[in-house]
């Protein structure tokens, strides 16, 4: 028989001659009835066959399925072994390990059905913490059904931590003005998600930003007094930003504000951890803290406020996480961090200096995670090669320097335009490498993704991966693709004229249309129809972005496009947005949709002179 296609790929698989057939009547032995019941349900769901199954807690020794927990046999936490011979034995170090053994066995059933190869699997994780971060603050907030479907799939990929990135999308009781247009998670929903995760051996870690990225709060008059720069600041990415962004570290009111948020939010999570954010405080020192920063240094001011938030969080949780980007600029403070803090080391380009950053924390004895990304945001169709290289870079250096976890992040900058299917390339590869830090050949990985995420033998993953490479024919843009940035910021894309020509853009359009044709052919498979709809909608956005570049090259400015060509483009955009709206509402809450569409319609406001 062929070698099993599994995701994550186990540490060791030995395949022997011969096969084992699951009989029409089989007994399942387990000391814990709940495990036997779940294993029986999994078999019934996966086999789609008339197999009679009985669960027993009496071990006569001849039961066809035998499920054991024995840390003496499997010494690695979360580890497991599978033996398929005359019968089938799953033995694990602990309950989570047995859950992962069942997940691997489900994948074997999906591939082989009742006639299984005789084999031995010995498997355990390279990182004890294997997480996914889902951005639920940049417009797109999943429905509960979508959330649970994601959790189910992630659990089967042996992910054991999820963070929902929150800025303003929890329904804080006294702050309805901030969240009312965003369909936030309620207290009861968080409790439900937390319990749902726990049943699948996933830790739901609270994640509330507490320093920067609080503009959704600070734009309101009631909160503006908390801001570092209430009237705006100079952006490090160029230009003046007229709105506040971070809270001020100068007085006690912001500390009290953060404390009350954490007091309300954190009791909803069973996790012993909390991520307090504190990243990208880009306006620090430009407002109320200017004098303080000049006197003591920006690094000291940042560190002191970080410690205040740390102390607030410690009232509720044992372990405090924070994003490491700011303190990495002031490495003299890293040794001063409390040893029960975890730094989240992030960076999303293929060549991000993970080795340098990891070494900083390792040398000081500080615990840290590495946090790569899916490379889906600011792209429409992803940046596939960058995603795999970025995740590999993070995991390789994380393992070398002693990281205790991997958190693969999926952000929603500028409207969260990417639909969920594109994120599974990064989620899947992050799940594999955080479990088994040996790179999987791309073809093997995409085949496994088709089989175990999209549950098909059709090449949907290969199509998405190919779409995520087309932008490389243009030129490099960090943290996104040229077609996305041209579409969103057509008024600032004149530099494209010196970088590419029309023929290259037309070649990209032709390639995207060719891949789209292949994707459309997959819609006839019921299991893929919903995925195909989402992929094609993002493809249509990408084509509009490429067309925007072509307009810029031909006419120099969006405002110079001939009226007849603009009318056709605008109609296409309206049609794409109408489909986008329908897809969004199938899978996500209505809050945030209009904000996303407003962002994605910016090109119209440029055309009609509404943006200077």
Per-residue pLDDT tens for 302-324? 999 999 999 999 999 999 999 99
Kindly state the average pLDDT of the residues 85-90: 97
Q: Residue 498: what pLDDT? A: 80
Q: Residue 612: what pLDDT? A: 63
Kindly state the average pLDDT of the residues 367-396: 98
Write the DSSP assignment of 109-127 as a string of letters. HHHHTTEEEEEEEEE--SS
Helix, strand, coil fractions of the chain, as percent rounded to 5: 50, 15, 35
**Sheet hosting strand 12-21, strand order edge to edge:** 12-21, 115-123, 80-84, 88-92, 65-69, 25-30, 52-56
Q: Is 351 strand, coil or helix?
A: coil
Gap between the Cα atoms of 294 and 40, Å rounded: 66
503 — pLDDT class (breaks 50, 70, 90): very high
Does the structure show a pLDDT above 90 at 50?
no
Q: Calculate ∠ Cα 59-65-70, nearest 5°.
A: 65
- Both tokens of 141, joined, read 């907030």
474 — pLDDT class (breaks 50, 70, 90): very high
pTM greater than 0.85: yes
Does the structure show a pLDDT above 90 at 216?
yes
Residue whose entry in the numeric block shows the structure tokens 């019921």 = 526
Of the CA atoms within 13 Å of residue 487, those in its CB half-sphere come to: 26
611 — pLDDT class (breaks 50, 70, 90): confident
Kindly state the average pLDDT of the residues 249-261: 97
Closest CA to 131 of 439, 405, 424: 405
Q: Is 337 strand, coil or helix?
A: coil
Q: Residue 13: what pLDDT? A: 98
Q: Residue 122: what pLDDT? A: 98
Strand-pair category, 80-84 with 115-123: antiparallel
Gap between the Cα atoms of 342 and 283, Å rounded: 24
Kindly state the average pLDDT of the residues 565-584: 98
48 — pLDDT class (breaks 50, 70, 90): confident
Does the structure show a pLDDT above 70 at 377?
yes
Q: Residue 23: what pLDDT? A: 96
Q: Is 610 strand, coil or helix?
A: coil
Write the DSSP assignment of 372-389 as a string of letters. -B---TTTSS--HHHHHH
Residue whose entry in the numeric block shows the structure tokens 């968080």 = 190
Phi-psi region of 415 (alpha: psi -120 to 50; beta: other; left: phi over 0): left
Q: Is 273 strand, coil or helix?
A: strand
* Domains of the chain, start order: 12-123 (3.30.379.10), 129-456 (3.20.20.80), 462-607 (no CATH)
pLDDT in tens, 395-406: 999 999 999 999
237 — pLDDT class (breaks 50, 70, 90): confident
Beta strands in 57-196 (DSSP E): 65-69, 80-84, 88-92, 115-123, 129-135, 161-166
Kindly state the average pLDDT of the residues 332-339: 97
Residue whose entry in the numeric block shows the structure tokens 């954010």 = 277
Rounded mean pLDDT of the chain?
97
Residue whose entry in the numeric block shows the structure tokens 């994780």 = 125
Does the structure show a pLDDT above 70 at 204?
yes
Q: Residue 239: what pLDDT? A: 87
Residue whose entry in the numeric block shows the structure tokens 């992050």 = 430
Closest CA to 328 of 308, 304, 346: 346
For the chain, what percent of residues have pLDDT higher than 70? 100
Residue whose entry in the numeric block shows the structure tokens 């490498």 = 433
b/e sequence 22-36, b meaning 16+ C-beta within 10 Å: beeebbbbbeeeebb
Does the structure show a pLDDT above 90 at 1?
no
Does the structure show a pLDDT above 80 at 189?
yes
pLDDT in tens, 101-154: 999 999 999 999 999 999 999 999 999 999 999 999 999 999 999 999 999 999
For the chain, what percent of residues have pLDDT higher than 90? 96
Q: How far is CA 363 from CA 99, 195, 342, 497, 576, in A?
A: 36, 37, 14, 46, 51
Return all residues near 327 (Cβ < 8 A) that are at least 6 apart: 299, 302, 303, 306, 333, 334, 337, 343
């Amino acid at each position: 028989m062929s070698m099993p296609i599994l995701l994550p790929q186990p540490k060791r698989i030995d395949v022997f001659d011969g096969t084992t057939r699951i009989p029409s009547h089989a007994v399942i032995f387990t000391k814990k009835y709940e495990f036997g019941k779940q294993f029986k349900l999994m078999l019934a769901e996966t086999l789609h066959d008339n197999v009679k199954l009985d669960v027993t807690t009496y071990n006569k020794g001849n039961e066809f399925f035998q499920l054991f927990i024995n840390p003496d046999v499997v010494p690695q936490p979360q580890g497991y072994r599978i033996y398929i011979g005359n019968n089938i034995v799953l033995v694990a170090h602990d309950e989570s390990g047995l859950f992962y053994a069942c997940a691997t066995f489900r994948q074997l059933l999906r591939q082989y059905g009742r006639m299984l190869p005789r084999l031995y699997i010995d498997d355990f994780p390279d990182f004890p913490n294997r997480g996914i971060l889902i951005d639920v603050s940049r417009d797109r907030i999943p429905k509960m059904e979508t959330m649970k479907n994601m959790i189910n799939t992630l659990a089967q990929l042996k992910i054991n931590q999820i963070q929902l990135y929150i800025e303003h999308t929890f329904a804080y009781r006294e702050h309805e003005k901030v969240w009312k247009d965003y369909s936030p998670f309620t207290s009861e929903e968080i409790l439900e998600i937390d319990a749902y995760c726990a049943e699948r051996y996933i830790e739901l870690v609270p994640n509330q930003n507490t320093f920067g990225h609080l503009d959704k709060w600070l734009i309101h008059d009631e909160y503006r007094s908390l801001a570092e720069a209430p009237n705006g600041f100079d952006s490090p990415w160029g230009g003046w930003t007229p709105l506040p962004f971070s809270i001020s570290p100068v007085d006690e009111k912001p500390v009290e504000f953060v404390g009350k948020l954490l007091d309300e939010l954190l009791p909803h999570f069973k996790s012993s951890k909390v991520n307090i954010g504190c990243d990208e405080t880009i306006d620090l020192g430009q407002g109320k803290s200017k004098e303080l920063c000049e006197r003591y240094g920006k690094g000291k001011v940042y560190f002191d406020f970080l410690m205040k938030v740390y102390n607030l969080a410690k009232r509720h949780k044992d372990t405090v996480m924070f994003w490491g980007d700011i303190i990495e600029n002031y490495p003299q403070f890293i040794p001063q961090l409390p040893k029960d803090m975890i730094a989240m080391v992030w960076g999303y380009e293929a060549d991000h200096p993970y080795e340098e950053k990891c070494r900083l924390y390792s040398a000081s004895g500080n615990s840290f995670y590495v946090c790569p990304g899916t490379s889906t945001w600011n792209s429409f169709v992803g940046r596939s090669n960058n995603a795999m290289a970025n995740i590999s870079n993070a995991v390789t250096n994380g393992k070398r320097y002693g990281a205790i976890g991997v958190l693969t992040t999926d952000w929603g900058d500028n409207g969260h335009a990417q639909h969920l299917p594109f994120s599974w390339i990064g989620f899947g590869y992050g799940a594999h490498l955080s479990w088994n830090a040996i790179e999987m050949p791309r073809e093997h990985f995409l085949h496994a993704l088709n089989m175990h995420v999209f549950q098909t033998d059709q090449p949907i993953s290969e199509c998405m991966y190919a779409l995520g490479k087309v932008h490389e024919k243009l030129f490099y843009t960090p943290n996104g693709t040229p077609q996305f940035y041209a579409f969103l910021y057509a008024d600032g894309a004149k530099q494209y004229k010196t970088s590419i020509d029309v023929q290259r853009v037309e070649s990209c359009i032709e390639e995207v249309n060719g891949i789209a044709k292949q994707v459309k052919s997959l819609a006839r498979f019921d299991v893929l129809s919903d995925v195909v709809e989402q992929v094609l909608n993002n493809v249509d956005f990408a084509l509009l972005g490429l067309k925007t570049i072509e307009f810029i090259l031909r006419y120099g400015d969006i405002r110079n496009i001939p009226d007849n060509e603009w009318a056709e483009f605008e109609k296409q955009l309206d049609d794409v947005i109408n489909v986008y709206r329908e897809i969004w509402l199938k899978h996500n809450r209505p809050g945030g949709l209009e904000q996303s569409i407003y962002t994605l319609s910016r090109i119209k406001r440029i055309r009609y002179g509404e943006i200077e």
